[in-house]
């Protein structure tokens, strides 16, 4: 995409959307108010899960989900505690492409990009959902190793506090790693030293490419999605509970199908994320809810309320990934068997008008 076209697009979208944000950290997270954002209807959406926590080379296709069953001597798809999306959105016959999050293990991710045939030269934008290393860990290395391929000056979209230092405080049952652990941070200086990206921080719904919107700061409206007590952030020289006010999700409006809501970790809560998408777009119909739901080790009542909350939005498909946790994944499968899709590294979702 040429820069002048992108500027024109952003200006037009801002005018059409008339977005407005007033944010503060209240009762466990941001309270935000937006005017309805008019998201254009796209003709086709393709989401490739470049890596995820799980891989099964024998898994069969499942409705909107194709599988990359790579079986080559000495080569297979890599799974890790990380998540990466490569996304193509078709609007008015034109395809835009972007990557959202970048995983952790550089060698494994690089192999997956190769095996999945992803051409980084076609990327129009990049995005980081939040400042945890299983989502940004490969970004700087990916840029450095592909300087001759990725477009110089490509926009990189981030939310508030993406560059902050983060920690996790594991309880004693975690043995040798129990206690406070430094998770590091996405270093802005390292990123800028690549001279590859133009960093854009967003707080309100923003198009990352035509037809694909970042959520902006997600409003917290449920009483059970309160975040994890073991996740901390350094703010003002002190360690405090990390509420992830700036974590971004993605929202699409597929013609004739409805909303596709895609999270990475959903630290704000996946029910909050879906409700936010409905409110920000003024569209009630939800076609698919996908992504990490951050329910690993969550108490059973929280999982039950989350499943009930998503079920109430009546999606056509549900695909929990990454940090959703075994108990939550099996709960969704049990309670929503017709909508449930087992996701994994190499899954390619195709949704067409």
pLDDT tens digit sequence for 319-337: 999 999 999 999 999 999 9
Residue 250 has pLDDT above 90, yes or no: yes
Model confidence pLDDT, tens digit, residues 156-179: 999 999 999 999 999 999 999 999
Q: What is the pLDDT of residue 69?
A: 85
**How many residues would you count in the chain?**
353
Q: Where are the domains of the chain?
A: 3-352
Least confident of 32-36, 143-147, 207-211, 320-324: 32-36
| pTM of the predicted protein model | 0.91
Q: Does 146 have pLDDT greater than 80?
A: yes
Please tell me the distance from the alpha carbon of residue 138 to that of residue 250, in angstroms, as a whole number. 20
Q: What does the pLDDT read at residue 71?
A: 74
Q: Report the pLDDT value the prediction gives residue 271, as an integer from 0 to 100.
A: 98
End-to-end CA distance of the chain: 23
What does DSSP assign to residue 41?
P
pLDDT score of 282 more than 80 = yes
* Residues in CB range of 169: below 8 A, 6 or more apart: 179, 180, 181, 230, 232
pLDDT of residue 9: 41
In tens, the pLDDT along 52-79 reads 999 999 999 999 999 998 878 888 999 9
pLDDT above 70 (res 270): yes
Query: What per-residue confidence (pLDDT) applies to 35?
Result: 61
Return the CATH architecture of domain 3-352.
4-Layer Sandwich (3.60)
Whether 127 shows a pLDDT value over 90: the answer reads yes
85 contacts 321 by C-beta, under 8 angstroms = no
| Angle at alpha carbon of residue 166, lines to 161 and 169, rounded to 5° | 145
Higher local confidence (pLDDT), 339 or 30: 339
- The beta strands (E) that lie in the chain are given as 25-26, 29-30, 44-51, 65-67, 84-91, 94-100, 125-127, 154-158, 166-170, 179-184, 197-201, 206-209, 212-214, 231-235, 238-241, 250-254, 258-262, 286-292, 317-321, 347-352
* Per-residue pLDDT band at 15 (split at 50, 70, 90): very low
Detail the DSSP E strand segments found in 131-270. Answer: 154-158, 166-170, 179-184, 197-201, 206-209, 212-214, 231-235, 238-241, 250-254, 258-262
Residue 31's pLDDT is what? 54
Q: Give 32's pLDDT tier (boundaries 50, 70, 90).
A: low
């Amino acid at each position: 995409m040429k820069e002048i076209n992108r500027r024109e697009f952003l200006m037009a979208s801002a005018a059409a959307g008339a977005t407005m944000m007033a944010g503060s950290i209240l009762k466990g997270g941001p309270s935000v108010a937006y005017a309805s954002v008019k998201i254009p209807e796209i003709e086709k959406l393709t989401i490739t899960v470049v890596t995820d926590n799980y891989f099964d080379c024998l898994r069969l296709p499942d409705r909107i989900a194709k599988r990359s069953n790579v079986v080559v001597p000495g080569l297979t798809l890599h799974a890790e505690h990380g998540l990466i999306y490569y996304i193509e959105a078709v609007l008015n016959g034109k395809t835009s492409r972007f990557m959202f999050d970048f995983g952790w293990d550089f060698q494994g991710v690089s192999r997956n990009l190769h095996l999945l045939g992803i051409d980084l030269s076609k990327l129009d934008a990049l995005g980081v959902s939040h400042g945890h290393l299983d989502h940004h860990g490969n970004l700087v290395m990916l840029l450095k190793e592909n300087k001759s391929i990725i477009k110089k000056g490509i926009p990189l979209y981030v939310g508030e506090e993406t560059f902050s230092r983060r920690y996790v405080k594991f309880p004693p049952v975690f043995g040798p790693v129990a206690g406070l652990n430094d998770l590091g941070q996405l270093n802005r200086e390292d990123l800028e030293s690549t001279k590859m990206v133009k960093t854009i921080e967003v707080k309100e719904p923003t198009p990352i490419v035509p037809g694909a919107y970042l959520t902006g700061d997600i409003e917290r409206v449920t009483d059970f999605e309160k975040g994890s007590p073991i996740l901390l952030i350094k703010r003002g020289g002190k360690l405090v509970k990390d509420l992830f006010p700036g974590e971004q999700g993605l929202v699409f409006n597929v013609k004739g199908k409805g909303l596709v809501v895609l999270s990475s970790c959903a630290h704000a809560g996946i029910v909050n994320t879906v409700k936010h998408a409905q409110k920000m777009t003024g569209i009630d119909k939800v076609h698919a809810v996908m992504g990490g739901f951050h329910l690993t080790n969550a108490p059973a009542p929280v999982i039950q309320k989350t499943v009930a909350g998503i079920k109430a939005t009546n999606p056509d498909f549900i695909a929990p990934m990454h940090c959703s946790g075994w108990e939550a994944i099996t709960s969704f499968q049990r309670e929503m068997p017709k909508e449930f899709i087992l996701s994994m590294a190499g899954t390619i979702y195709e949704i067409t008008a």
